[in-house]
Amino acid sequence: MRTTLLTRTLAVAATACTATLLAAVPASAHVHANPDSTAAGGYSVVTFRVPNESDTAATTSVEVLLPTDHPFSYVAVKPVAGWTAVVTEGALPEPVELDGVTVTQAPLTVTWTADAGTPGIAVGQFEEFEANVGPLPQEGTRIVLPTVQTYADGEVADWSEVADEGAEEPESPAPEFTTTAATEEAHGHEEANPEPAAASSGESSDPLARGLAGGALVVGLASLVIVLLRRQRS
């Protein structure tokens, strides 16, 4: 009786722990946008973390679509070895009023393309691309950055799905973040903050950290099983 109860308890704990780990892993298999600042009126260095999800082909192109309803007037990119970045400007779908000025053109896309003869993002790897953008719109604005990821074999991953507030994450979510209240420091082209801003949901924006936490939980459970079994035998 005692052995049966112990076995059932460990089985339930193992199931819960496995579910926690599996829930953490898929989150890393998306393109993420991690801003170093979200303060309205300021400038932010947004890091796009792009994992390769193909089993056979390298990622050769990453295109980010910039907002047009609250466009950025400034977009600059950080050089990445082996990649060429192009910021494309064009006409907005509709004129936008920014600080009393009517804006009809703005940066529309940022595209990173792997140089000829370079591997791009190889299978089992990821790359990070940075863009300095701003000024950020008013507090509470949801900045959605749909991203198109192209592979060497022609496959295209379209990260553009947007979930309603409070709904579950879609299969191919668009990278996004939400602006926060303006601060005194939110002006000029600021340097990157070593501590990235947390996601608006309050969850960690680093999927690797969540995966490691889940792994640690599994290891802890295994240790508990060994200890209990030894006590049971004794």
175-199 pLDDT tens trace: 999 999 998 776 544 444 433 333 3
pLDDT of residue 196: 36
Q: Provide the domain limits for residue 47.
A: 29-205
**Is pLDDT of 108 > 70?**
yes
Q: What is the spatial distance between Cα 56 and Cα 66, in angstroms, rounded to a whole number?
A: 30
Domain contains 69: yes
**In the chain, how many domains are there?**
1
Q: What's the DSSP call for residue 112?
A: E
Element (H, E) at 229: helix 207-233
Q: What is the CATH number of the domain that holds 89?
A: 2.60.40.2230
Arithmetic mean of pLDDT over the chain: 79
More confident residue, 108 or 202: 108
Instruction: Give the pLDDT mean for 155-161.
Output: 96
**Is pLDDT of 92 > 70?**
yes
Q: What's the DSSP call for residue 25?
A: S
Domain contains 214: no
Tens of pLDDT, residue by residue over 63-85, are 999 999 999 999 999 999 999 99
Q: What is the spatial distance between Cα 53 and Cα 51, in angstroms, rounded to a whole number?
A: 6
Q: In what order do the strands lie in the sheet with 32-35?
A: 32-35, 44-51, 126-134, 74-77
Domain contains 170: yes
pLDDT of residue 103: 94
pTM: 0.69
Domain contains 5: no
